[in-house]
Amino acid sequence: MTDKPHRDGDAFIAAVDAAIAFDKSQGKLSSCEFDVMASHVAVLLADAVAAFNRDSYGTCVFLSVTALEETTKAEILGFRGKPGQVRRRKGDPMLSHAEKHRIAVRPTTFMGRLPKILGDDVCARLQREAEDGVLNRLREQSLYIHVDHTGVTTPATAIEVG
């Protein structure tokens, strides 16, 4: 990895602050409620592994990216607290796949063991893809059939392994 993170730390903090402040409500989530969200993420990851082992790479990618999004939601919603009676939805960063990806792949993500496991090049690519919206396009390719002037693309043909 490079010495300077791809994403400015101040921009990351601003995005997290905005996501938390969007719907700051009265109540707090309990540790049990957070555990429910964490258990959901664990199921998504286990299902992603099972899909990968069946060579269902599109489903594996979709579940993996969804786990990334749900982890971000659990972290942010833990600071927001329980929603109030009337909840605003328009403009909520937690309803934007791209914003959840940008928040999930934070400056500290690659400070631990991940670069040794994935390699510096893959970590740098993942960070760029979260920033540039590529993860969101990959999420869509892993789920939906696409038809254009070149023909039909399915998740099975769009997701490459390697």
* Nearest Cα to Cα of residue 109 among 129, 92, 81: 129
pLDDT tens string, the chain, 162 residues long: the values are: 444 444 566 778 888 888 888 876 656 778 888 899 999 999 999 999 999 999 999 999 999 999 999 999 888 888 876 666 556 678 888 888 888 888 888 878 888 888 899 899 988 888 888 888 888 888 888 888 889 888 898 888 877 766
**Are the CB atoms for 139 and 62 separated by under 8 Å?**
yes
Task: Please state, in angstroms and as integers, the Cα–Cα distance from residue 156 to each residue in 21, 23, 46, 66, 111, following that order.
Answer: 39, 38, 20, 18, 33
Residue type at 64 in one-letter notation: S
Computed over every residue of the chain, the mean pLDDT equals: 83
**pLDDT tens per residue, range 7-46:** 566 778 888 888 888 876 656 778 888 899 999 999 999 9
Residue type at 40 in one-letter notation: H
Residue type at 92 in one-letter notation: D
Q: Distance between CA 95 and CA 74 in Å, rounded?
A: 13
3-state secondary structure of 137: helix
CB atoms within 10 A of CB 146: 14
Q: What is the pLDDT of residue 87?
A: 61
Percent of the chain scoring above 70 in pLDDT:
85
Residue type at 66 in one-letter notation: T
The model carries a pTM of: 0.77
